[in-house]
Copies of this chain bind each other. A is one copy, B any other.
Amino acid sequence: MAVNFSNDPTAVGFFAPTRFEADVLECEVIKGEVPKEIDGAFYRLGWDWFYPPRLPNDAGPFSGDGYMGMFRIRNGRVSYRGRYVRTPRFLANLEAGRQLFGVYRNRATDDPSVRHINRTVANTAPFVHAGRLFALKEDALPVEMDPNTLETRGFWDFNGKYRAQTFTAHPKPDMETGEMICYGYQATGDLSRDVFVYFVDRNGEVTREVRFQAPIVSMMHDIAITPKHIVFNTSGFVTNPEWMKAGNVMWGWDPSAPTYVAILPRDGEGKDVRWFKGPTRAAVHLLTAETVGNKVIVETPVSDGNPFPFFPQMDGSPWNPKLAVTTLRRWTFDLSSKKDTWEEEIVFPNAPGALPRIDDRFYGLPYRYGFMGYADPSRPFDEKRAGNVGGRVTNVYGRFDLRTGRIVGNYFVGEVGSLQECQFIPRSRNAPEGDGWLIGVASNYAEMHSELVIADAQRLDEGDVARIRLPFRLNSQVHGWWANADQLPLV
Q: Which residues of A contact B (CB under 8 A)?
A: 2-6, 17-30, 33-34, 50, 76-77, 80, 84, 94, 97, 448, 471-472
Contacts and interface: CB of A to CB of B under 8 A. Distances in A.
Contacts of A3: 26-29
- The binding surface of chain A is classed by DSSP as loop
Contact of A472 (B2, B26, B84, B472): B472
A6 B18 CA distance: 25
Given A2-B76, A34-B2, A28 B23 contact: no
A19 B29 contact: no
Contacts of A97: 26, 77
Given A77-B97, A448-B448, A4 B23 contact: no
20 contacts: A2-B34, A2-B76, A2-B77, A3-B26, A3-B27, A3-B29, A4-B28, A4-B30, A5-B28, A20-B22, A20-B23, A20-B24, A20-B471, A21-B22, A21-B23, A21-B24, A22-B23, A25-B94, A26-B97, A77-B97
A30 B5 CA distance: 8
Contacts of A20: 22-24, 80, 471-472
Contacts of A33: 2
Top-6 shortest CB links A-B: A2-B29, A21-B23, A3-B28, A20-B24, A19-B471, A20-B22
Contacts of A50: 25-26
A34 B20 CA distance: 20
A60 to B, nearest CB: 17
Contacts of A76: 2
A26 to B, nearest CB: 6
Contacts of A472: 20, 472
A166 B77 CA distance: 35
A4 B33 CA distance: 11
B24 A6 contact: no
A323 to B, nearest CB: 36
Contacts of A34: 2
Contacts of A18: 471
A90 B249 CA distance: 49
A33 to B, nearest CB: 6
A19 B28 contact: yes
Chain B CB within 10 Å, residue with most, of A5, A17, A50, A471: A471
A330 B458 CA distance: 73
